[in-house]
Structure 1
């Protein structure tokens, strides 16, 4: 697969155990850490409030936008830097020109990340927006595109919001099919996509997806320092949003208050420049390896885990989530137990694994606790073998 995880591991601070929780937050490579400290040193050397430092900030913003735009295939002026995915979602939810009489379509709160659920629910109470909810087809979180087609043909629908990859089961939702349904409708309907679990570990092309907005963080699959989010805002959606914040970077006075051009009008108060230096370097690092290679390796590791969990010795004990077809899922692997005490067993197992030096996550599917395992490109086959051996030993003790 032309990827050497043992060599890649040397690019990161030495881990004290096996880290398999990259869907939450990923480690940061040395070069990205160094980029942060190098920026801070240069910023102080020039003088934080000087013409030289201002030029350095402008260049950094431009280079970072260019790298993000290359990654997701968009124009540089369609990229807005935020504090997090949650922040980006709230910017869209509260900047969109909608109100009473309008409606949005969201997924259920069981399979959708709270960040991409609560912000839209708030519009119902704050602005009188009608909320339409898609039903689930199965436990993995699949949606019925035909149901969506019927909903969007009703009156008042202005936006559909969903995730690209589900944070709990790893299911890839049919975003391109949804986009086609919206394009074929007789009115303009925006598509918002939470791509927190896809950008950095699989190919994401916003033009192919056909979305108006997409949001993702620095700190998950991109392996950049935490504290930044990225919001893609299509040029086609510019007239339908208005700035949520205002400041000297985003507006000026000329016979009244005037907004600057995009994306600056939507980015008042941004000060995460040191983190942005780390993001830029992390993006260059990820691109040097290649998203396709990362996807293939991650899916190979996930396949090792799923194959073992589907072994006959576990078939009565373990319930595995996510579709069998690897084209329909990410490298997230989630499971729990066919036992009435499954929640207790999940919680105990996650804790026991961490005490053994293996980090995974506890999440939920339909109010049931699950163990979520999410390998990334620096993980090796040996990491997975050690995880599976430890898991087997702990399950023997549990049973």
Structure 2
């Protein structure tokens, strides 16, 4: 069976991909039937055995371990460095609030970060009196050295650099190794927090090799897992410097009388309490599902091929300008209409024709995301619909 034939069989497992062209993987990925079944079966099993019973508690422990192991393998990381969370924003909150901020400390953020993360940083500034510096990373989309630009914006007091691995608005991949090296040259105290919302599940990763301190991610985008399960990678070196932000029974140790005595080892210390554990079974199944088609590297190569194909076709339209002047590095293609038509109006028009993309505010543009699951014919359908609009 050819890779394309097998891909078509895989697509049949996604109810959300039927009768539509879906380009919103960067917002939320669709769930395959095996994932839906795993979630449903897990909820049913919990009810059969008793929601709070020895059997269910044992099953919960197994699901937590299996999920942590599955995630760690995908990230090339040790399971001890992984904390299970609900989403990227929770992971970023854990890292941002867990540092011992002092008045006069500085934080460097790029001008391409998600507003949810920006809002957290603004509140930390209000409460702790830190200084925020912004690096115009958007300038380096088509030319320039992102690592050098970040280095130029570092100060001796910079405690933390906050950036995305794959920028959610422009689709640029930032060179993490070089950026971390620049931060360490600035100061051994300068740490790096990465928003991995668009990179995890779309790119092959080995986080220890990058040298980053914190890496927040989710399972509901490119992994096509259920909403409500994500994680935070905390490097072994950074673990002792990051205090728990949210505290609950899953992250603490107890004495013989059941009283708290300290934190659990590794990333577990940042976990809180009861979660929707059947979703863990769903994420495990989603991760395994993608491996049926190919390795992370093979899937990423197909994503790059498809994004290049869509970019070339969009670039040929006279009233469309792609933000990138060269083929995209990953699966995000952002473009603008130059005929004065509203981007929102275009998105609404496309959705009426069962083609799903989204608008972004900064830069003001339309974003389409291609997965390895995407077909060339879907890219053609999107381009032809935009041309008609």
So what's the TM-score if we normalise by structure 1?
Answer: 0.90
Output one character per residue of 1:184-236: Cα deviation in whole Å (capped at 9) or x when no partner: 33423211111111111111210222111111111100000111221111111
| 3-state SS in 1 of match to 2:370 | coil
Alignment partner, residue 366 of structure 2: 371
Alignment partner, residue 345 of structure 2: 348
**Contact in 1 for aligned 2:99/2:241 (Cα 8 Å):** yes
| Separation of aligned partners in 1, 2:28 and 2:63 | 24
Q: CA deviation at 1:286?
A: 1.9
Q: CA deviation at 1:275?
A: 0.9
| 3-state SS in 2 of match to 1:93 | helix
Moved over 6 A (4+): none
1:189 aligns with 2:190: yes
1:83-94 → structure 2 map (5 Å cutoff):
83-94=86-97
Q: CA deviation at 1:143?
A: 6.3
**Contact in 1 for aligned 2:84/2:268 (Cα 8 Å):** no
Alignment partner, residue 378 of structure 2: 383
Alignment partner, residue 25 of structure 1: 28
Could you tell me which runs of 5 or more consecutive residues in structure 2 were left unpaired when the two chains were aligned.
none
Alignment partner, residue 397 of structure 1: none
1:110-121 → structure 2 map (5 Å cutoff):
111-121=112-122
| Separation of aligned partners in 1, 2:327 and 2:373 | 24
**Contact in 2 for aligned 1:135/1:144 (Cα 8 Å):** no
Alignment partner, residue 295 of structure 1: 300
**Contact in 1 for aligned 2:311/2:327 (Cα 8 Å):** no
| Separation of aligned partners in 2, 1:25 and 1:338 | 28
Alignment partner, residue 334 of structure 1: 334
Q: CA deviation at 1:287?
A: 2.7
Alignment partner, residue 162 of structure 2: 161
1:306-321 → structure 2 map (5 Å cutoff):
306-311=311-316, 314-315=317-318, 317-321=319-323
| 3-state SS in 2 of match to 1:191 | strand
**Contact in 2 for aligned 1:5/1:380 (Cα 8 Å):** no
| Separation of aligned partners in 2, 1:257 and 1:265 | 12
1:285 aligns with 2:282: no
Alignment partner, residue 98 of structure 2: 95
Question: Pick from 4, 7, 15: which aligns with 1:5?
Answer: 7
| Separation of aligned partners in 2, 1:271 and 1:100 | 35
| Separation of aligned partners in 1, 2:368 and 2:249 | 44
Q: CA deviation at 1:121?
A: 2.3
| Separation of aligned partners in 2, 1:260 and 1:54 | 18
Question: Pick from 79, 82, 97: which aligns with 2:82?
Answer: 79
Alignment partner, residue 106 of structure 1: 109
- Over the residues paired in the alignment, what is the CA RMSD in angstroms? 2.1
| Count of residues in Structure 1 that have an aligned counterpart in Structure 2 | 381
Q: CA deviation at 1:104?
A: 1.5
**Contact in 2 for aligned 1:5/1:379 (Cα 8 Å):** no
Alignment partner, residue 359 of structure 2: 362
1:262 aligns with 2:266: yes
**Contact in 2 for aligned 1:139/1:365 (Cα 8 Å):** no
Output one character per residue of 1:6-33: Cα deviation in whole Å (capped at 9) or x when no partner: 1221121152311111111110111111
1:133-148 → structure 2 map (5 Å cutoff):
133-136=134-137, 138=139, 140=141, 144-148=146-150
Q: CA deviation at 1:116?
A: 2.9
| Separation of aligned partners in 2, 1:188 and 1:72 | 24
| 3-state SS in 1 of match to 2:266 | coil
Range that drifts further, 263-272 or 245-254: 245-254
| Separation of aligned partners in 1, 2:250 and 2:124 | 28
Q: Are the structure 2 counterparts of residues 294 and 348 from structure 1 closer, same or farther at C-alpha, using a change threshold of 3 Å?
A: same
**Contact in 2 for aligned 1:89/1:115 (Cα 8 Å):** no
| Separation of aligned partners in 2, 1:149 and 1:378 | 37
| Separation of aligned partners in 1, 2:157 and 2:183 | 13
**Contact in 1 for aligned 2:208/2:235 (Cα 8 Å):** no
**Contact in 1 for aligned 2:146/2:174 (Cα 8 Å):** no
So what's the TM-score if we normalise by structure 2?
Answer: 0.92
Output one character per residue of 1:252-275: Cα deviation in whole Å (capped at 9) or x when no partner: 555875223232221012412111
Q: Are the structure 2 counterparts of residues 386 and 148 from structure 1 closer, same or farther at C-alpha, using a change threshold of 3 Å?
A: closer
Q: CA deviation at 1:74?
A: 0.7
| Separation of aligned partners in 2, 1:156 and 1:359 | 44
Range that drifts further, 94-103 or 179-188: 179-188
| 3-state SS in 1 of match to 2:224 | coil
